[in-house]
Structure 1
Amino acid sequence: MTKSNTELTLEQREELLTVLKSRFEKNMNRHDGIEWISVQTKLEANTDKLWSLNEMEKTEGEPDVVGYDKESDEYIFIDCSAESPKGRRSVCYDREALESRKKHKPENSAIDLANEMGIELLTEEQYRELQKLGNFDLKTSSWVQTPDDIRKLGGALFCDSRYETVFVYHNGADSYYAARGFRGSLRV
C-alpha cells in the first residue's frame, strides 16, 4: 500500500468527519464522558487513521468511538454496524487458511483484509464489551482474534449474539460463509 493510496482528499476527510460526528452524537451511550471536539482534533492530526476509518465506513462497519485509553492517549473506534460489516463477509480467517483451500477459495481472509485496512480484528473480550453497548450480530457472526494454540490445530474462533448471550464458537479457519465477516478496532 503506497502513501498516495492512504490519503483522503480534503472533501473525503470532511465528509467522513461529518458522518463520524453524526454517529457519535446519536450514540452517546457508547462514549460517556468523551467530547467530539477532542476526538476530531486527534483525527485531524492522524490522517492515516482517517484513511483506515474511511475503509471501515466503506465496508459498512459504521465505526464509532467506544472508549479512551488514558495511558496511551488514544480513542478506540470499533465497528458498530448492527450486523457484521457487509463489505467484509465471506472471508476465511487468515492467509494460511486461504492458501490451504483447493476449491472455491474466498476472495480474501479476515486477517489480510484487516491488515490492508490498517485495523485489527476484535478480541473476544472486545466483542463482549461491544455487546454491552447494544445488540450486534443477531443474524450474522464475526471472526475474532484466535489464540495461536487453536490456530496451529487448524481452527479459528468467531462470535455472535443469540438469546441475549454472546456465544464463542470454533470452525476450520478455511471456512467462510455469507453471514460471517469480522469487526475491526482502531486506536487513534
Structure 2
Amino acid sequence: MIVWNNTEERETSFWQKNLSFVDKVIYSMRLSRIFSGADFSNKIVADTGSWYNFLFLRAIADRIQKWYAVDRVLNIKNHPDTIETIESDLNEGISLESDSLDIVTSMAILEHLHTPEQYLKEIYRILKPQGTLIMTVPSVYAKPVLEFLAYRLGVISEVEIRDHKEYYDRSKLKDILKRAGFSEENIRHSYFQFGMNNFVVAVK
C-alpha cells in the first residue's frame, strides 16, 4: 500500500502517469457533464487543474477564442500553440488578470486543495462579470466507494484518492461558493454519477 500524507504538497499533475481503465471512464463522464454547463463558442476559457495533458482544452480547442491550461505540472513540450500553459500551485493563487475570463472549469480539483476557499476566491476574481464557473467535485457519498475501488480493488489511482482533503455535498459547496463571492441565486447545483459527484454552475 502506498503511504500518502494528505497534508503534504503533491508534485505531479493528474494523468501525468498512466491511469486505469476505470479512471478513464470516470473522467469521460465528468467531461460530458462539463460540456453541458455552458456554450464555449468563442469564449476565453481557463481550465484550472487542467491535468498534465490538458485533454479537456484539446477537446474544445476548435470552439473557443482563447484558452489557458493551469496546473502544477504541464506537458509544455507537446501542445497546440494556441493553448497558453501556466504552471502554478492552485493553493497559492492563479496568475491571470482580474475580470479576464468568460468561463473557468474545475474538474475534480477542489477536493485536492488545502485552501479551497482561497482557490474559489481567485476564480471569482479572474472571471468577467457574468462569467461562469463550471465545476465537478466528488460528493460525500463517493468517499467509501472511491476508497474501496482504490485501496481494496486497486482499479483507480490510490495516490489520487489519498490526496483528497475533503468531500462535499450541496450545502457545503453553496456555503464555500458564497464565501468566495458568488450569490446563492447564481449557483446551480446537481448530482450525477448516481449521487457520487457534484456538478456546479456558478455565475459571477
Larger helix percent = 1
| TM-score above 0.5, yes or no | no
* TM-score (norm. length: structure 1): 0.30
